[in-house]
Copies of this chain bind each other. A is one copy, B any other.
Amino acid sequence: MLKYQQIADEIEQYINQHDLKQGDKLPVLEQLMRQYAVSKSTITKALELLERKGVIFQLRGSGIFVRRHNRPGYMSLFSTQGFKRNLGDRVLTSDVLDLSIMKPDETVSQNLGISTEADVYHIERIRYVDGELFCVEESFYVKEIVPYLNREIVTDSIFDYIQSALGITIGFSDMYMQVGRLQEKEARLLQLNIGDPTLRIESIFHLSNGTPFDYSRITYHYEHSQFVIQANGPYL
């Protein structure tokens, strides 16, 4: 973790621990620099990161303010996509249904921009939040980029592993969302009925150089998935 990320984490923890509310003012830049004993560029990058994450907003000439939504049941869509083990104070666990190496079909190879002859890791998991059924996830990792995965890693956080152990820098993702009805297998895994509503999200995760390395399809349990997106402008 880079210095500015660490500082951003510390500021976010401070906001949470002191239960600051939206609109509460944080110390000015100079004071934050002294407080965390870092340079102006580090604190500026930390604040930019927190702004992107929806933790603060900055108002030129007025200061730095806390940004906080107030609906406890809603999880950040982007955090759940990153799939941390902890979502705030909620705990994410997984049942691994499959972990295997295979050749991708047409859809998978197109989304990953690889040949149907290349190897991919195929992972299928049921995921729980605080023990409650949350989603079924199928994901495909390009083996040339992520050469090794095992059951322990995929039970835990795959992103955590590939960033910390493999030193891979994740860049950006394209997420495709739509609402539909559950099919037989999904309904069974989510303990719902065939035809029940569901949210499906397909994501393509890219390295920071733009190469896709992970294509995933998630089917959410509609009763247990409420998301918040803290968006920044522009709106035109």
Identify the A interface with B (CB < 8 A).
5, 22-23, 49, 52-54, 57, 59, 62, 65, 67, 69, 71, 74, 77-78, 81-82, 84, 159-160, 163, 170-181, 197-199, 205, 208-210, 220, 222, 225-236
- Contact A227 to B177, CB < 8 A, known contacts A81-B235, A233-B172: yes
| Partner among B5, B23, B62 whose Cβ is within 8 Å of the Cβ of A234 | B5
Q: Are B233 and A170 in contact (CB under 8 A)?
A: yes
CB distance from A201 to the nearest CB of B (A): 9
CB distance from A51 to the nearest CB of B (A): 9
Question: How far does the alpha carbon of A71 sit from the alpha carbon of B189 in the complex, in Å?
Answer: 29
Q: Are A236 and B197 in contact (CB under 8 A)?
A: no
Question: How far does the alpha carbon of A235 sit from the alpha carbon of B172 in the complex, in Å?
Answer: 9
Q: Are B159 and A235 in contact (CB under 8 A)?
A: yes
Between-chain CB contacts (< 8 Å), 23 pairs: A5-B234, A54-B174, A57-B208, A57-B210, A59-B210, A67-B172, A74-B176, A82-B236, A172-B231, A172-B232, A173-B233, A175-B229, A175-B230, A175-B231, A177-B226, A177-B229, A178-B225, A178-B226, A179-B179, A179-B220, A179-B222, A197-B197, A208-B233
